[in-house]
Structure 1
Amino acid sequence: MAYKILIVDDSIFFRRRVKEILEQDSSLEVIGEARNGQEAIDMVIRLNPDVVTMDIEMPIMDGITAVKKIMARKPVPIIMFSSLTSEGAKATLDALDAGAMDFLPKKFDDIASNRREAVALLQARVKGLCRKHHGFRSSIAAVAPPKAILFNKPVRRNTSSSAVQSTRSSPVSVAAYASSSAGIPSGKKYRCLTIGTSTGGPVALQKVLTNIPKNFPYPIFIVQHMPGAFTRAFAERLNQLSKLTVKEAEDGETVEAGVAYLAPGGRQLIVQNDSHRVKFSVYDAPDTADILYKPCVDITFESIAKVYAGDVLGIILTGMGADGKIGATELKRKGAKIWAQDERSSVVYGMPQAVMSSGIAEREFSIDSFESNIVKEMV
């Protein structure tokens, strides 16, 4: 039985284009098209779609208002189409705050390097949210994105490093898991906290960072799959909501304790030692045949392992695919603690499942429990 999709956009051309793309996949069926937010509300109630694709700027009722009203009356997964501008970034973040689960650039050329990849990505992202709506317990492969991933161009991976060696540990016992879930501090020494996330990450990060105390004694490194036009606006929003200082990381910047640094979108972020100081290197990765994310959790996590060794708490939150598994493996090999978000509270249980199923992560928490457990463990 096909998943049911409602398309909301004031452009008939764009609605037809999205419908054509989605229905190339036999598991997706477009059951309705709305021209504005008010029509969208009425059709959600009447047609009961599995996922809604939503434009932001529309007559009569805009997409953000429509998302708020839909989530209040009949919640359903919503994916926003956004322009890659600073204004588009702020509007998209508002839509995510209102209850939307995901977003994609409205210009398909911004999604991927070619049409085939863009088509595959849109289909994969919609199906991932459909499964969330149905409570579908999918495998990592089922939720993994195609080769075109999250607005990113190809980058080269160094697969020769020890980071790709398996450090798979045995499954956590019931007793050990019960103890860890109780939030009992391990007494371990730490020097930093690092977080990797993708689909559903903006809202998840807000929940995690909002109540971490201002005097948090370590730097926090955050990798959120996000286009370059969005990360500065997102960092500013997190800074307004948090007690911490939150900012977009800058090339050559010296790392300071108590500051949360967001990896710039569309580029790669690594940390490195420089004359007894830790500094950032932000760079544009060359296009290659190997496809990964920009920014990439694995690349940042591996650099953190080189600088901080095992004195790290690494966290993997909601996201499609398995980015972060290799980097978390290297951190784990050096003695770091790895935690993951649980399936129930994840928008897409791909990245967390990757580290849980391989035995890399030793604790799994609901998104609402992370902040208190981080403070218990590290402060």
Structure 2
Amino acid sequence: MRILIVDDSVVFRSQIKSALEGINDIVVVASAANGKIAMERLEQNSIDVIILDLEMPVMDGLSMLEEMKKKSFNQRVIVFAAPTGTGIDLALTALRAGASDFIAKPNSSGSLEEAFEGIQKELIPKILQFKSKIEQNLIYIPKGLQAPESIAPPVNSPNQTPQQVIVYDKKLKNKDFSQIKPKVIGIGASTGGPSALEKIFEKIKEFPLRIPIFITQHMPPKFTEALANRIQMISGHPTLEAKHGEAALSGHVYVAPGDFHMSVERSTDGQRVIICLDQNPKRNSVRPAVDTLFESLAKVYGNGCTAFVLTGMGEDGMVGAKAIKEVSGNIIIQDPESATVWGMPGAVHASGAYDSMGNLDECSDYLRQMIG
């Protein structure tokens, strides 16, 4: 994995480089103090992943993402974002502009040692999640379709291997989701999730929402509130960062807050569904965890539960998907071609605990059919 570090701070560039040194399969090949210099580095070097600051002189991170798109550079980009109002907005904008993932910048009030440890802990898994798709240059072909006759090397990556074809079982059962009227919908996502959620929710703006929707997106605190505000703006439906003890209302969308598991339970009188938040140990190395949400939805709503597992690294959501299928609920997963990382939906696919698979347009269609 060949890395380009782009940040106007010499100290921060040095911290990132030091955090990555000695890690197998990761090599820092270049660095740059702004986007203009970084574009020159891209022309001169074979780069797999870019670590990008958003606020820089000469050419900032958003401008660099736009320039990359113009020149058809397709490297994965992980942006660093300050956990402030402006920084959070910039991070979400960067994801819409083509960034693959983001990391909250370490608190400037902490020590350099704490910042170094935080970068190592957060950044390395984010880089390695792209390893197999980048280095092996995989393409996915649904079973029954013929692979392209000519498999070409990826654009702007002269040192990478030619594409390898992975045949997978699309397993579309052609369910008529217009006849399925769930009592609740759950959605789980990680890397690439914010952009995927926006694409899905912008297509249900004109559709009435008669049930609650619960979202667990792997994001840090503060960023989840901004995500909820963004979904409300593009969908027109009331969307909130969930609060412990509040009743779940039909027609509302609830986002799990960063660093809290979200689940639901019946009120003592059985008349309401109550949202529960906790900081129990991480599951699948994350908090909030999709499994926690899905398991509780299965318990409370039974076969009235439908859930989507969207793009993301790891296996979070697989256990929860099995729980929903055990009570005869429905599971829809995002397909590998449209997923930024096919870890979470791929794990559910491998388990067989799903009903249909589709790209984001198809997932939007399924959602519209069920809420219509």
TM over 0.5: yes
The residue number in structure 1 matching 2:24 is 26
Moved more, 241-250 or 48-57: 241-250
The residue number in structure 2 matching 1:209 is 201
Letter in 2 for 1:23: E
8 Å CA contact 2:264–2:296 kept in 1: the answer is yes
Determine helix, strand or coil for the equivalent of 1:272: strand
The residue number in structure 2 matching 1:318 is 311
Structure 1 257/64 Cα, relative in aligned 2: closer, same or farther at 3 Å? same
Q: Which of 236, 239, 242 is equivalent to 1:243?
A: 236
The residue number in structure 1 matching 2:147 is none
The residue number in structure 2 matching 1:106 is 105
Distance apart, 1:300 and its partner CA: 1.2
8 Å CA contact 2:248–2:274 kept in 1: the answer is yes
Distance apart, 1:291 and its partner CA: 6.2
Distance 2:94 2:178 in 1: 38
Matches within 5 A, 1:221-232: 221-232=214-225
8 Å CA contact 1:211–1:243 kept in 2: the answer is no
Task: Give unpaired runs (5+ residues) of structure 2.
Answer: 140-167
The residue number in structure 2 matching 1:87 is 86
8 Å CA contact 2:20–2:27 kept in 1: the answer is yes
The residue number in structure 2 matching 1:195 is 187
Distance apart, 1:284 and its partner CA: 3.1
Q: Which of 241, 246, 249 is equivalent to 1:253?
A: 246
TM-align CA RMSD: 2.6
Cα deviation code 1:319-351 (max 9, x no counterpart): 111111111111111111111111111111110
TM-score normalised per structure 2: 0.83
The residue number in structure 2 matching 1:218 is 211
Cα deviation code 1:154-211 (max 9, x no counterpart): xxxxxxxxxxxxxxxxxx987xx3442xx63373341011100001100010011111
- Work out whether 1:303 is the aligned partner of 2:296: yes
Structure 1 233/283 Cα, relative in aligned 2: closer, same or farther at 3 Å? same
8 Å CA contact 1:302–1:327 kept in 2: the answer is yes
Structure 1 179/336 Cα, relative in aligned 2: closer, same or farther at 3 Å? closer
Distance 2:66 2:236 in 1: 26
Letter in 2 for 1:217: R
Matches within 5 A, 1:273-288: 273-274=266-267, 275=269, 276-285=271-280
Distance 1:18 1:309 in 2: 47
Matches within 5 A, 1:324-335: 324-335=317-328
Determine helix, strand or coil for the equivalent of 2:244: coil
Q: Which of 39, 42, 65 is equivalent to 1:67?
A: 65
Distance apart, 1:317 and its partner CA: 0.4
Determine helix, strand or coil for the equivalent of 2:332: strand
TM-score normalised per structure 1: 0.82
- Work out whether 1:122 is the aligned partner of 2:123: yes
Distance apart, 1:105 and its partner CA: 2.0
The residue number in structure 1 matching 2:76 is 77
The residue number in structure 2 matching 1:142 is none
Distance 2:284 2:358 in 1: 30
Q: Using the aligned pairs only, state the percent identity.
A: 34
Which structure has more relative contact order (CA 8 Å, sep 6+)? It is 1
Distance 1:186 1:359 in 2: 23
